[in-house]
Structure 1
Amino acid sequence: MKYSPFIYTGSLVATLLRQCLAAGGSEANSSQYQDPVLLLSSDPMFHFRMLAPFGQAASGGVDIAPMLGVAKAIEAGNMESFTEEFYKLAVKTKAQAEDPANSFDPINVRDTWFSASTYYRKASNYVLRDFDDPRIKDYWVDQTEAFNKGIAALTIPGERLLIPAPEGNFTVEAVWYAASHEQVKAPTLIVGNGFDAAQEDSYHVYCGPALARGWNCITYEGPGQPTVRRNQNIGFIPNWELAVTPVVDWLMQEKAHRVDTEKLALLGNSLGGYLAARATAFEPRIKAALLVGGIWNFGSTLFNTMVPEPLAASFETGDYEAFDEGIYELRNSTGIPTSLAWAIDQALWAFNTRSPAEMFNKALEFKVEDFIEKIKVPVFVGDGEFDVSVAGQPEKVAQALGDKATLHKFMGVAGYHVQAGAGQELTRTLFAWLNKTLG
């Protein structure tokens, strides 16, 4: 089965859900393909949600056996089971980090805090359906506190930041990681995630490898992303330069002695492929961009993978009341695939609206074609053999960029969305390109 976090598999419920399955992939045709790795769950979405953090083990983000134990315990298709099992593991791991008997080993305790933070984040994956669910904030407080204890124990401690974004009337929430104690200028990577992942994940996937290669790294979150959405109640915005330019300003003002301005790169992960492209088009100080999952038109992709034909007609004619009612009826259907249920919950929450029609109207503004001609720097565009969520879009982005683009397709076990679980292949490819491109 070719895999996307949005692919629809599982039981069929009503005509609308059958049409969703027909549009996105069904059990009937899944036998045409074979997953390249051992499945962690018979639920494709749960498999992906667990495969991704496995890739964080190299930098202390998880421990393997506890992850396998959770994978065995989770009931496929049961979102509460996923939440409960990861929460139990998070609480247990936090207790291990706090155990005075382990205080003699600061490195182990650091990694234990990192693991606890990851498990709390995983426990929060499926709690967004009810905006008032206290777990949305409670689990995030827990994961943030655990992560802060982890980065405080790094050889060079990470630094939490609140960076004002006056033109957007919000605050960028970021973390700075220095490559060395020496007061020297070094290449610097700015890392932003996308639709749902957190900047704490970015440390394990991108910043650890960057620091090991002598790069500074700064992660950030803007409107709609986990911390800003929780703390500031702001949903996604399309003009993403409003989030990135303040980060660049901060680097130039506060870390001018640390940053090689000729080697300043911006990376966007998943939906971040759109966000980073947008920021690069309007932020001239960026010298290279990496789009890990090139996005051409986010709104149409989301719409086509979530909305069956009868409801699409309601949206197109402007009958938003019927459209919203239909989406909620679909969400409440018995046997709805986890991927579709999650996509509806995540999208409404991240765009900070309870109206699916309003959410889609906002998402349809996320179009690279509106500004791609303004990008003047080299761009790495990543794609994956098994990533059908953005099928064909990375190629369109690369074609539009022309000779400024390097299109790379990850194959086989590295072919999942944003190369989940294959961090070594991902980062060695990215940094090989950066070294060649920026010198």
Structure 2
Amino acid sequence: MRSPGSFIVTLLAALVGAASSQNITNATWLDTGDTLQLSADPTFHFSLLELLGMGVYRGSDAADVLGAADAILPSDFTSFNSTFAELAARKQVQAFAAKNKVNARDTFFQAASYWRQADFFLHGNWSDPLIDLYWENQTACFNAANAALPVPGVRVTIPTSSNFSAIGIFYAPDHTTSAKPTLLVGNGYDGSQEDNYHQVCVAALERGWNCMTYEGPGQPTVRREQNIGFIADWEKVVTPVVDYLTTRTDVDMNRLALSGISMGGYLAARAAAAFEPRIKALVVNPGIVSVQAGYFTGFPDELLALFDSGNQTAFDAVINALLLNSSTPSGTRWGIEQGLWSFHTESPFEFFTLTGAMNLTGLYDKITIPTWTANSTRDTSFPNQSVMFATQLQNITNVALVTYDGPEGYHCQVGASTSTNRDVFEWLEDVFE
């Protein structure tokens, strides 16, 4: 019989091999050769492509992103973080120096995006002061840009019946008080509501819609300011936010849609399915049937068996050793570090256990509103789950399953947000006509 130590060494070697083949955790993405690679590191490529795609909605400048891509060293988190911190600081200075309101607004938005990128790979060390400093910088820059909008977004803090407050930003397309269709947008595992402004809200405002972003436990600002990790029962977040919307005369509650992005696809479906009848249409990108199944995709059988055995000490030892191994790819390392931080646990076993509660078992028949979901063929975070999700919906006459492939086929269609927004708003306008 092998000793526990030798077992861990053997399993670690298998894990590193699996990770090197991009088959472990939700944090690596398949590249099929039809998209220009912005980094030899596939995780960095994905982040850079996402940021580049935000430029169409004033979230970045192409030259900035391409310059950063050239400077960042693959697999080097410090290189990624420091490159964007330097870029963000430079943009912030330019924004303060701008005399024209539009110039300042656009440059502050860019600086905010770059501060968020500077923070992105920091979460392996919870005591790093840059985690809070960079977020304070991004918030200050975003707020300065927001204040210069023709109709500034309104930040709100929303009490709940639980041990946290939800936070949100409400954006209106104009100053009128007439009731308008409204899209409520929530992100997932790592994205912020400030990201959502550039990904979705600008498109909504251009079409005459209100757009409200929000965050709950585990998400960037709530995690920092309230020190609470993700919860599975997301209706505790959404219902108080919907309560807030009912207080506004410019919201048409008969035309209220809820959108969930990335892991937010589970969060939104859970809230809309079982607990929030005031939502009239659901948009999930992607559809998710089980968060844990997505994270376990590609795990070696030995690791799954170790997790199923309930041996927390041994499982944590293997995962922690994986994080310290220099051969571990960026996606694997980031995926686990981000999970520990956002679920607020130092135990990998506990993190993966908490994801087990995030599934829609027993709830599909409660989803009765029109539902749109994206099926991205390159999505290795939750592969094929959108198809499974749509198949489970039996009590709806309007279920749209839209497939994205080729360069548009990454997780959440990063880099192709205009295509997604076109499809979503065409569908929503048909639903609410």
Q: Secondary structure at the match of 1:369?
A: coil
Question: Is 1:36 aligned to 2:30, yes or no?
Answer: no
Displacement after TM superposition at 1:385 (Å): 2.0
**How does 1:158-237 map onto structure 2 within 5 Å?**
158-166=153-161, 168-237=162-231
TM-score where L is the length of structure 1: 0.92
Give the whole-Å Cα distance in 1 for the aligned partners of 2:421 and 2:430.
Answer: 14
Displacement after TM superposition at 1:373 (Å): 1.5
State the AA in 2 paired with 1:414.
Answer: E
**How does 1:17-166 map onto structure 2 within 5 Å?**
17-21=16-20, 24=23, 34-99=32-97, 102-103=98-99, 105-166=100-161
Runs of 4+ in structure 1 deviating by more than 3 angstroms, as ranges, are: 19-23
Give the whole-Å Cα distance in 2 for the aligned partners of 1:324 and 1:360.
Answer: 11
Give the whole-Å Cα distance in 2 for the aligned partners of 1:33 and 1:137.
Answer: 33
Give the whole-Å Cα distance in 2 for the aligned partners of 1:38 and 1:44.
Answer: 11
Displacement after TM superposition at 1:413 (Å): 1.9
Deviation string 1:60-113 (CA, Å, 9 cap, x unpaired) is 1111111111110000111110001000000000000111xx21x111110100
Give the structure 2 partner of residue 343 of structure 1. Answer: 335
Displacement after TM superposition at 1:22 (Å): 5.5
Deviation string 1:155-190 (CA, Å, 9 cap, x unpaired) is 001111111112x22111110101211110000000
Displacement after TM superposition at 1:59 (Å): 2.0
Question: Is 1:304 aligned to 2:297, yes or no?
Answer: yes
Give the structure 1 partner of residue 8 of structure 2. Answer: none
Give the whole-Å Cα distance in 2 for the aligned partners of 1:44 and 1:19.
Answer: 15
Give the whole-Å Cα distance in 2 for the aligned partners of 1:296 and 1:400.
Answer: 9
Displacement after TM superposition at 1:389 (Å): 1.9
Give the whole-Å Cα distance in 2 for the aligned partners of 1:68 and 1:19.
Answer: 30
State the AA in 2 paired with 1:76.
Answer: P
Question: Is 1:294 aligned to 2:294, yes or no?
Answer: no
Deviation string 1:336-389 (CA, Å, 9 cap, x unpaired) is 100000001000001000011111111010002231221110100111121122
Displacement after TM superposition at 1:37 (Å): 1.8
Give the structure 2 partner of residue 3 of structure 1. Answer: none
Q: Is the 8 A contact 1:385 1:416 kept in 2?
A: yes
Give the whole-Å Cα distance in 1 for the aligned partners of 2:215 and 2:87.
Answer: 26
State the AA in 1 paired with 2:420.
Answer: L
Deviation string 1:254-305 (CA, Å, 9 cap, x unpaired) is x1x1011111000000001000001101100000000011111001211234
Give the structure 2 partner of residue 356 of structure 1. Answer: 348
Displacement after TM superposition at 1:410 (Å): 1.2
Give the structure 2 partner of residue 267 of structure 1. Answer: 259
Q: Is the 8 A contact 2:151 2:172 kept in 1?
A: yes
**Structure 2 unaligned residues grouped into runs of 5+:** 1-11
Displacement after TM superposition at 1:16 (Å): 2.5
Q: Is the 8 A contact 1:17 1:308 kept in 2?
A: no
Give the structure 2 partner of residue 5 of structure 1. Answer: none
State the AA in 1 paired with 2:188.
Answer: G
**Structure 1 unaligned residues grouped into runs of 5+:** 1-12
Displacement after TM superposition at 1:223 (Å): 0.4
Q: Is the 8 A contact 2:108 2:142 kept in 1?
A: yes
Give the whole-Å Cα distance in 2 for the aligned partners of 1:72 and 1:64.
Answer: 12
Give the whole-Å Cα distance in 2 for the aligned partners of 1:59 and 1:111.
Answer: 10
Q: Is the 8 A contact 1:274 1:295 kept in 2?
A: yes
For the aligned residue pairs, the C-alpha RMSD in angstroms reads 1.6
Q: Is the 8 A contact 1:376 1:404 kept in 2?
A: no
State the identity as a percent.
Answer: 42
Give the whole-Å Cα distance in 2 for the aligned partners of 1:312 and 1:326.
Answer: 12
Q: Secondary structure at the match of 2:361?
A: helix
State the AA in 1 paired with 2:339.
Answer: A
Give the whole-Å Cα distance in 1 for the aligned partners of 2:306 and 2:215.
Answer: 34
Q: Is the 8 A contact 1:266 1:288 kept in 2?
A: yes
Give the whole-Å Cα distance in 2 for the aligned partners of 1:308 and 1:240.
Answer: 30
Deviation string 1:283-334 (CA, Å, 9 cap, x unpaired) is 00000000011111001211234x4333322211111100011100111112
Give the structure 1 partner of residue 276 of structure 2. Answer: 283
State the AA in 2 paired with 1:274.
Answer: Y
Q: Secondary structure at the match of 1:24?
A: coil
Q: Secondary structure at the match of 1:261?
A: strand
TM-score where L is the length of structure 2: 0.93
